[in-house]
Homo-oligomer: A and B are copies of this chain.
Amino acid sequence: MKLAVIGCGLLGGSTAAAWRACGSVQEVIAFDPDRAGLQRALDCGIVDSVADSLQQAVAAADCIVLAPPVGAMDAALQACARYGRLDAIITDVGSTKEGIVRSARAALGDSLARFVPAHPIAGGALPGVEHASAGLFSGRWLITTPLPQTDPQVLRQVEAIWAACGARVERMDPAEHDRLFATVSHLPHLLAYALVHQIAGDADGSRMLQFAGAGFRDFTRIAASEPTLWRDIALANRTALAQALSTYRDEVTALLTAVEQGNAAALDRIFSLSSQVRRRQPFDADTPAAHGATGASPMSRTS
């Protein structure tokens, strides 16, 4: 199978590498307006050839993986419809799904049946194709959000490739996907940006950052993320994200009231429930700090 990767950065490049490593593709062509990035992809053997245009890339492929930023997605979908082969599989790796499904419905026409909306939950590495890795998706979730029109055989084929790459595949409705990830992914990014923004606006901001410890470092790590990427995600998922932000503001108000009133019982209730829920969560890479109070002395302080 010949794969065309549209947008050849960390995710596009890693997809090419992973799909090749599991034997699903034999040849990879890529298109990206960043010629230097394409050259790096060639240099590290992730792609076999580079296309001069979207048209050239999609015309040559049995399968097209769309990995551009949000703003370039419509043009990529239109190229798939116009120049893609009539049996080509089309899929994507985008963080939001309702918007891309809307765009796909508008752009793809008959090709919609061969489009599998997908989202690999993989990140945490440096961006750029030079950091791409065939192992990026191993043990990670891969969400598909098929449409009523999606060809079941094409869906199964895409899911089987991801499963062969070691991903855990789950299907969802696009709206459910966007609501879940609004809360556990997009919201935390905005909240981390907000805290750093607050500190940046404080007269003592530099001094605050000087003495910040490990908790702050972990909490705000995602505030170092690529700002335009997250701006686009926030806008693409604005309905679900606004709801999540509004609910979060209510949570902050409840905490503020409890702190102002010195309401120990209310704080206890919120902190204890959250602590229990968070400790129960079997995140693979948690540090020991995440697991709790067992062995704590009633006279001991831990931070």
Q: What residues make up the interface of A, taking CB atoms closer than 8 Å to B? A: 6-13, 31-34, 37, 67-69, 72, 93-95, 121-131, 140-141, 143, 170, 176, 179-181, 183-185, 187-200, 202, 204-205, 207-209, 211-231, 234-235, 238, 241-242, 244-249, 251-256, 259-260, 262, 264, 267-268, 270-275, 277-279, 281, 283, 285-303
Contacts and interface: CB of A to CB of B under 8 A. Distances in A.
Given A176-B204, A198-B251, A242-B260, 20 more contacts: A7-B297, A9-B297, A34-B299, A37-B295, A72-B299, A124-B303, A129-B300, A131-B295, A184-B211, A185-B216, A191-B219, A193-B271, A197-B270, A200-B277, A212-B281, A221-B287, A222-B289, A227-B274, A228-B268, A235-B264
A46 to B, nearest CB: 12
Contacts of A275: 193, 196, 223-227
Contact of A8 (B188, B191, B196, B297): B297
Given A12-B301, A37-B297, A242 B224 contact: no
A43 B67 CA distance: 57
B8 A299 contact: yes
Given A190-B255, A213-B121, A234-B267, A11 B300 contact: yes
Contacts of A222: 215, 218-219, 289
B9 A209 contact: no
B291 A11 contact: no
Q: Which 6 A-B pairs have the closest CB atoms?
A: A9-B300, A128-B295, A123-B303, A227-B271, A7-B299, A37-B297
A285 B7 contact: no
A245 B123 CA distance: 30
Nearest to A141: B211
Nearest to A258: B234
Contact of A259 (B242, B273, B298): B242
A15 B211 CA distance: 20
B242 A194 contact: no
A267 B253 CA distance: 23
A270 B209 CA distance: 17
B292 A217 contact: no
Contacts of A126: 288-289, 291-292, 294-295
A296 B128 contact: yes
A25 B245 CA distance: 52
A301 B72 CA distance: 11
A7 to B, nearest CB: 4
A301 B196 contact: no
B238 A299 contact: no
A285 B217 contact: yes
A259 B245 contact: yes
